[in-house]
Chains A and B, each alone.
Chain A
């Protein structure tokens, strides 16, 4: 049996887990090809123009898989622990997929409510009818759910910039390539939220407690964690992303208070590479200048202090 997994949205985090799990059930796993312009165009014809870019891409991937598979494996993330909800569009994409195929293609969509175990067990039973095998496949695949225990090192003297955004935007080369290339090309190390330990991302202190979207809380916590370790914060927001439009506003305010350069890049299917590169370069120059300016000010302060002490 050929089971299709679209290479978009949640795949970028749980893809390895799903691939191992489905392979363990004895299914042949078909993953759609990497995002490109053709896939995006396919997606555009299936969803309304107002929906955000990752969902359009997802629709393209689903369409692409359509003829090649027997079952589409498309888990629906409703909420994770602590009742943190996924974004409405992520919940709705399964229904959109169902309406796209109109019953021509069976869709296996475990509803993830808090725990991964039970919905995946039921989905496995749907696909292979052998409880022992399903449990074994799940146990083996489990270690591929990404989790970091330790925070990465932040050595002094290194040029760092935080590139914050949803993992499905950053891990998709089609979307993030120009940004990553420009930043690394200028000798910056990129800090993202996905290399941070669970403990930091799930932090419940302060305003983070009030954010009820799971990935927004991660973003905000990552921002709080990284903001004093980097020389600038660049966040990527897809046009029409509801949660981001709110949380980014809070981040901007905090960055302003701490006097850290903050760049908000809004992307959609029309955003050209040139515009993004120019903005990032300007942003890097600004952060470098501010960095230099700040140390100069600090130096002069030291001198004044020194003179005062000498006097």
Chain B
């Protein structure tokens, strides 16, 4: 079986390890590029959100490389994401692509371990559980890698650029649980942070695909890092899997903190977005950046709540929606203005004094 799945930022490594553990040969789609998204949007409905277009592009490119089985996450109650795989499957069929398409439902971990995965790979549930543990460890590694990278970029951008490929190589090499454990220290050593504090710290909240896959948000973490702002995030694949396994303490906390603004979940991740923003505000972060795909339904409701939060607490909030036409220059101008504002506020200077 030559398995493939859409790119998921740095967490691609974690998913690759997982499938390899179960005995599949993994073919990774090429890194996301202009071509991916053009390819994807060519075969997508007009008004659908951006993650669909990128993931479809990934699948088409993976098929070109010779993959014959595609995995795609499915299942999200009120959000459009739960219907992606119907459209994906249909689009691939219409294009005449021969492949096995396997949608994997997120919200039933027991089925996943005992039925779905053993059914596909013909392995014991025990082995699936071991693979899940390893995937968790590895996604925690990538999460820590991202945290270190963000901090390093804010302090010393050039140094971060040099350290990044080295750290990624370490992550890719780590196969067993022991090696992954050792890699955590190794990654920290490579980034060599020495407890230096960056000028300002910004919280990043938003739709989960955008939080994980940096290409979709035009590498917003890197751009903010270049401007001297450390990006702090709460959501990652690691936390998401923990949540799916009912063991993410931050999930209940988000619901509690968001309750003032949203009393019922409008679906998707709106509650978490708002809860995390409130959490960041209480942690004393200097601002919040909110990213989501254009026309995303739950995040648009979250946007209203974030505006209210900003009004009430004075926390600077920048909401950015992305689609394939978002201009990079416009984005950079907005980010620069925002970072400038936050810096001035933090340093206590007013405009007229300058």
Q: Does A237 contact B (CB under 8 A)?
A: yes
Q: In the complex, how many residue pairs between chain A and chain B have their CB atoms under 8 Å apart?
A: 104
In A245-268, the 8 Å CB interface with B consists of 245-246, 248-250, 253, 266
Q: How far is the CA of A177 from the CA of B154 in the complex (A)?
A: 55
Q: Does B39 contact A (CB under 8 A)?
A: no
Q: How far is the CA of A241 from the CA of B45 in the complex (A)?
A: 13
Q: How far is the CA of A98 from the CA of B267 in the complex (A)?
A: 18
**Known pairs A242-B80, A246-B83, A249-B87; A85 contacts B261 (CB<8 A):** no
Q: Does A221 contact B (CB under 8 A)?
A: no
Q: Do residues B264 and A89 form an inter-chain contact, with CB atoms below 8 A?
A: no
**Known pairs A50-B321, A245-B45, A246-B45; A91 contacts B80 (CB<8 A):** no
Closest to A247 in B: B83
Identify which of A78, A99, A211, A239 gathers the most chain B CB atoms within 10 Å of its CB.
Answer: A99
Q: How far is the CB of A211 from chain B (nearest CB, A)?
A: 8
> Which residues from chain A contact B264 at a C-beta distance below 8 Å?
76, 78, 91, 94-95, 111
Q: Do residues A210 and B47 form an inter-chain contact, with CB atoms below 8 A?
A: no
Q: How far is the CA of A96 from the CA of B301 in the complex (A)?
A: 8
In B64-103, the 8 Å CB interface with A consists of 77-80, 82-83, 86-87, 90
**How large, as a class, is the contact surface on chain B?**
35 or more
Q: Do residues A47 and B297 form an inter-chain contact, with CB atoms below 8 A?
A: no
Q: Does B298 contact A (CB under 8 A)?
A: yes
Q: Does B161 contact A (CB under 8 A)?
A: no
> Which residues from chain B contact A205 at a C-beta distance below 8 Å?
none
In B265-308, the 8 Å CB interface with A consists of 265-268, 270, 294-298, 300-301, 303-305, 308
Question: Which residue of the partner chain, among A47, A94, A249, contacts B45 with CB atoms under 8 Å?
Answer: A249
Q: How far is the CA of A25 from the CA of B268 in the complex (A)?
A: 37
Q: Does B48 contact A (CB under 8 A)?
A: yes
Closest to A46 in B: B304
Q: How far is the CA of A245 from the CA of B44 in the complex (A)?
A: 11
Closest to A241 in B: B47
Query: Can you list the 10 inter-chain pairs with the closest CB atoms, starting with the nearest?
Result: A92-B301, A245-B47, A88-B266, A92-B266, A88-B297, A249-B45, A88-B267, A242-B297, A91-B266, A240-B295
**Known pairs A246-B80, A246-B83; A48 contacts B303 (CB<8 A):** yes
Binding site for A on B (CB under 8 A): 45-49, 77-80, 82-83, 86-87, 90, 261-268, 270, 294-298, 300-301, 303-305, 308, 319, 321
How would residues 74 to 96 of chain A score, 1 for a CB under 8 Å from any chain B CB and 0 otherwise?
A: 00101000000111110110111
Q: What are 9 A-B residue pairs whose CB atoms fall within 8 Å in the complex? A: A87-B297, A88-B268, A95-B261, A211-B83, A242-B80, A243-B80, A244-B47, A246-B45, A248-B45
Q: How far is the CA of A266 from the CA of B45 in the complex (A)?
A: 13
Q: How far is the CA of A1 from the CA of B261 in the complex (A)?
A: 27
How many of chain A's residues have a CB under 8 angstroms from any CB in B? 38
Question: Which residue of the partner chain, among B48, B78, B90, B308, contacts A99 with CB atoms under 8 Å?
Answer: B308
Q: How far is the CA of A86 from the CA of B49 in the complex (A)?
A: 19
Q: Do residues B77 and A85 form an inter-chain contact, with CB atoms below 8 A?
A: yes
Q: Does A190 contact B (CB under 8 A)?
A: no
> Which residues from chain B contact A212 at a C-beta distance below 8 Å?
77-78, 82
> Which residues from chain B contact A244 at a C-beta distance below 8 Å?
47
Q: How far is the CB of B271 from chain A (nearest CB, A)?
A: 11
**Known pairs A88-B267, A210-B86, A240-B295; A96 contacts B304 (CB<8 A):** yes
Closest to B91 in A: A249
Q: How far is the CA of A89 from the CA of B79 in the complex (A)?
A: 11
Q: How far is the CA of A233 from the CA of B300 in the complex (A)?
A: 30
Q: Do residues B79 and A88 form an inter-chain contact, with CB atoms below 8 A?
A: yes
Q: Do residues A88 and B301 form an inter-chain contact, with CB atoms below 8 A?
A: yes
> Which residues from chain B contact A48 at a C-beta distance below 8 Å?
300, 303-304, 319
Q: How far is the CA of A244 from the CA of B79 in the complex (A)?
A: 12
In A30-65, the 8 Å CB interface with B consists of 47-48, 50-51
Closest to A207 in B: B86
Q: How far is the CB of A87 from chain B (nearest CB, A)?
A: 7
> Which residues from chain A contact B263 at a C-beta distance below 8 Å?
94-95, 98
> Which residues from chain B contact A237 at a C-beta distance below 8 Å?
47
> Which residues from chain A contact B308 at a C-beta distance below 8 Å?
99
Identify which of B78, B82, B263, B265 gathers the most chain A CB atoms within 10 Å of its CB.
Answer: B78
Q: How far is the CA of A211 from the CA of B48 in the complex (A)?
A: 16
Q: Do residues A92 and B295 form an inter-chain contact, with CB atoms below 8 A?
A: no
Closest to A242 in B: B297
Q: Do residues A88 and B295 form an inter-chain contact, with CB atoms below 8 A?
A: no
Q: Do residues A266 and B266 form an inter-chain contact, with CB atoms below 8 A?
A: no
Q: How far is the CA of A240 from the CA of B293 in the complex (A)?
A: 11
Q: How far is the CA of A210 from the CA of B82 in the complex (A)?
A: 10
Q: How far is the CB of A198 from chain B (nearest CB, A)?
A: 23
> Which residues from chain B contact A243 at a C-beta distance below 8 Å?
80
Q: How far is the CB of A97 from chain B (nearest CB, A)?
A: 10
**Known pairs A50-B295, A87-B297, A92-B262; A245 contacts B48 (CB<8 A):** yes
Q: Do residues A89 and B80 form an inter-chain contact, with CB atoms below 8 A?
A: no
Closest to B47 in A: A245
Closest to B90 in A: A253
> Which residues from chain A contact B294 at a C-beta distance below 8 Å?
50
Identify which of A86, A98, A240, A249 gathers the most chain B CB atoms within 10 Å of its CB.
Answer: A249
> Which residues from chain A contact B304 at a C-beta distance below 8 Å?
47-48, 92, 95-96, 99
Q: How far is the CB of B90 from chain A (nearest CB, A)?
A: 8
Q: How far is the CA of A245 from the CA of B83 in the complex (A)?
A: 11
How would residues 174 to 218 of chain A score, 1 for a CB under 8 Å from any chain B CB and 0 otherwise?
A: 000000000000000000000000000000000100111100000
15 new A-B contacts, CB < 8 A, other than A87-B78, A88-B267, A244-B47, are: A47-B304, A48-B300, A48-B303, A50-B294, A78-B264, A85-B78, A88-B270, A88-B297, A89-B266, A211-B83, A239-B47, A243-B80, A245-B45, A253-B90, A266-B47
